[in-house]
Amino acid sequence: MCSTAIVMIESSFSGHLFHRAIRDLGHIPVLLTADAGRYRHLDTPDLAIVSADTASIDAIVEWCQRDQFGLDIIGVLSSSSASAGMAASVCRRLGLPGAKPEAIERCLNKFTQRDCLKGAGLLSPSYLFTADPDAATKFCAEIGFPVIVKPAIGSGSMGVKLCSSLVEVIEQMSMVLGGDEFAASPGILIEQYVSGPEFSVETIGDVVIGITAKHLGDHPHFVEVGHDFPASLDWHVQQAIGATVIGAIRALDLLWGPAHTEIRLSADGPVIIEVNPRMAGELIPELVRLACGVDPVEATVILATGGNPVLNRTSNRSAGIRFVSPDRDGILHWGAGAQDARKIDGVVDVELHQPDSFRVQRRGDFRDRVGHVIAVTDDANETAHALENAMRALGARVEDG
């Protein structure tokens, strides 16, 4: 009898959670990647790592059909935005459960997504898709500053900047349009800045699993430096946010699998910043599992194999994560407190992403983070206190160099 396997196309910061869930459900996790060296935590027992051309659907389908390991491949997934569309297309070719590739592509292009959501009558900021500085100048004159400039296709806050003048807008446009890492983006999206606290909504299909509170670093960038789950919100606010997000999910036809939707709670109500057609990153799924007992990663794996996951809460705790994000360039030094941080009541995970003496060169996105701590308790204030003490114990500092 062949062993059953689930293929992951590339990975992400939370990719190892999928490897763990696949293994725990009795399947063999297989990671297809063009460069395994990019990823953390590839030491999951039984994980098979295969070098592959993950930009080619034909190459991936051929590998899956070749069955060179004697495996029965029963599902294909990706935890990465960049590969979510590829995973959906491969599933369609192989006749496996998965999202609609068209829905994934509709989400990944932020301009197309904006048009779709606006057409569905959802509250939306003013926006413009362009590569023309003259068009950008006219648009900014009409709506005023500040505005957000971002690549039309991208993730992890890469290339996203709050601009307070036309000079900043043109400079950011030039940087994105001329940068190799944004080559996949067909142009620039300029959006009216929406003020208000930011949250993310974690969903499976059209079921809201919960709402996560975000902690953002200093402008002009939007680096996420922490998350709390569940967010402390009044019931009627939760209902309004949930209804808005489910309306967006349905408008985008993203009714299979996980989505991670970012919103701002403006004076006029919830405004969708963007819908990501994949599981939340940054270990948010782990916060969800720790806090309410629902494992969205396991649920997604079950869906990928044609099953029906149970999404009922089994606990009511408070979980949070804080990232160590240096506020200056230089040489990173850790204090002697990593072990002390792990001993703090409520702390369940401490990880240093970079070694002592690492040279910090900030980029204004997720790559600036050099470590994290996770805590879970029965009370949101206790969790916040544990996280604060753990971060202090780590004693990270950056010196000139």
Catalytic position from the list 278, 289, 317, 322? 278
Question: Before 97, cis peptide (omega within 30)?
Answer: no
Instruction: Single out the residue of 28, 109, 21, 105 nearest to residue 72, CA to CA.
Output: 28
Instruction: Single out the residue of 164, 257, 287 nearest to residue 172, CA to CA.
Output: 164
Range 111-118, long-range pairs (CB < 8 A, 24+ positions): 111/152, 111/187, 111/189, 113/252, 113/274, 113/275, 114/189, 114/191, 116/251, 116/252, 117/248, 117/251, 117/252, 117/272, 117/275
SS3 (DSSP) at 213: strand
- One-letter amino acid at 179 equals G
Q: What are phi and psi of 191, to 5 degrees?
A: -130, 145
What beta strand segments (E) does 82-146 contain? 127-130
Q: What would you report as the CA-atom Rg of the chain, rounded to the nearest whole angstrom?
A: 21
Q: Is 397 a catalytic residue?
A: no
CA distances from 137 to 127, 134, 140, 153, 303 (A): 13, 5, 5, 21, 46
Instruction: Single out the residue of 265, 271, 280, 266 nearest to residue 319, CA to CA.
Output: 280
Centre a 10 Å sphere on the Cβ of residue 162 and count the other Cβ atoms it contains.
Answer: 16
CA distances from 138 to 25, 188, 190 (A): 55, 15, 12
Query: Catalytic amino acids?
Result: 278
